[in-house]
């Protein structure tokens, strides 16, 4: 694999982090990895887990045939990716680990016994794939099978609970998001200087992603990264970290209008009215119930431990909230802390395409 570069915006200037990953497979099929890291300002390496890669809609859960509002159908059984090597621990509350899969892809893996809750895995799985299905830019996801032999022979696969307790990561099915460190010359930014935002080709997705976060009750600030592959002139935003959807481990839906708002509100400057949320808003309103049920039924029970009744309640509530999405946006737009300074008065449309007279 070639070199990959990640960067963070500091004082308006990008600081480069170069990751040179070399993977080799020996005659006995043992995988070796050499990673060389250098940072232009001499700072510590804390951005490895920010380099993720998006793929086209329709992940391995679906055959990829699109019907209706851009949502893939015909589900097939998910084949987990077997982890072959543990690379390093990642920063963050869930204490993810960078791992190499037998598909020669690097994955950021969240384990069932992470300090936050096992439901973080279910939330990531459900929310990310729903967002993917409606056309929002999110990482590729997979079930990662981590064997007991690998756990026992990888001393770095530990969970630290911060109270003196440490335990080994559990074996079995875990949640993985693709890590983009194998993309040559790729640079990743947590923030961009204001003068560069106009170069983000999909900046308009921040508005519908906010609708998605309200729909799914994401209790965290919206997390995103900006990818750039020189010499291309444009950046691309990728929305990461859906573990706090459905209010995290609580699996409830809060009504705070500012849930999911990105800390950098410059990303909403182009929002001028309802048209700024399309076509994703309509896709969410018209998301087919059978597809959501298929996703829910395919989520490993060991990731949520909620029982059938609790899972059914979550799905039914999520489906019912589709009809309230425009009401949620209107509440946000009219709040004293609205993130939409350039919203124009206009016509409001009710859910599912039915017009409703009134001011936006």
Intervals of the chain under pLDDT 70? 1-77, 180-184, 345-360
Angle between helices 289-297 and 119-133 (to 10 degrees): 150
The pLDDT, as a whole number, for residue 90 is: 86
Max Cα separation, the chain?
70
The pLDDT, as a whole number, for residue 185 is: 78
- 164 CB burial (10 A radius; 0-12, 13-18, 19+): exposed
User: CA-CA distance, 171 to 150, in Å (whole number)?
Assistant: 8
Domains of the chain: 196-359 (1.10.1070)
CA atoms lying within 13 Å on the CB side of residue 337 = 8
Distances (CA, A) of 39 to 48, 84, 85, 193, 235: 11, 28, 25, 19, 21
Backbone angles phi, psi at 70, to 5 degrees: 75, 15
């Amino acid at each position: 694999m070639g070199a990959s570069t990640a960067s963070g915006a500091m004082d308006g200037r990008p600081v480069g982090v170069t990751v040179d990953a070399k993977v080799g497979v020996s005659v006995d099929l043992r995988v070796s990895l050499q990673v060389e890291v250098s940072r232009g300002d001499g700072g510590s390496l804390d951005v490895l887990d920010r380099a993720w890669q998006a793929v086209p809609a329709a992940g391995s859960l679906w055959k990829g045939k699109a019907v209706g509002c851009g949502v893939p159908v015909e589900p097939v059984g998910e084949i987990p990716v077997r982890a072959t090597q543990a690379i390093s621990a990642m920063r963050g509350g869930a204490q993810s680990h960078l791992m190499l899969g037998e598909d020669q892809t690097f994955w950021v893996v969240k384990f069932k016994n992470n300090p936050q809750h096992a439901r973080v895995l279910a939330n990531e799985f459900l929310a990310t794939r729903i967002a993917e299905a409606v056309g929002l830019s999110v990482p590729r996801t997979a079930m990662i099978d981590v064997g007991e032999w690998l756990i026992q022979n990888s001393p770095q696969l530990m969970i630290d609970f911060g109270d003196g307790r440490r335990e080994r990561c559990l074996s079995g099915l875990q949640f993985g998001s693709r890590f983009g460190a194998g993309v040559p010359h790729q640079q990743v930014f947590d923030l961009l200087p204001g003068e560069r935002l106009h170069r983000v080709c999909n900046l308009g997705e921040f508005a519908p992603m906010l609708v998605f976060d309200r729909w799914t009750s994401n209790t965290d600030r919206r997390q995103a990264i900006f990818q750039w592959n020189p010499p291309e002139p444009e950046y691309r935003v990728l929305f990461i970290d859906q573990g706090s959807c459905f209010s995290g481990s609580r699996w409830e839906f809060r009504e705070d209008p500012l849930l999911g708002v990105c800390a950098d509100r410059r990303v909403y400057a182009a929002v001028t009215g309802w048209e700024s949320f399309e076509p994703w808003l309509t896709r969410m309103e018209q998301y087919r119930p059978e597809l959501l049920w298929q996703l829910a039924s395919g989520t490993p029970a060991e990731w949520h431990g909620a029982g059938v009744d609790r899972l059914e309640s979550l799905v039914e509530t999520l489906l019912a909230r589709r009809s309230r999405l425009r009401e949620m946006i209107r509440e946000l737009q009219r709040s004293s802390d609205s993130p939409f300074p350039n919203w124009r008065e206009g016509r409001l449309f009710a859910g599912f395409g039915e017009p409703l007279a009134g001011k936006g």
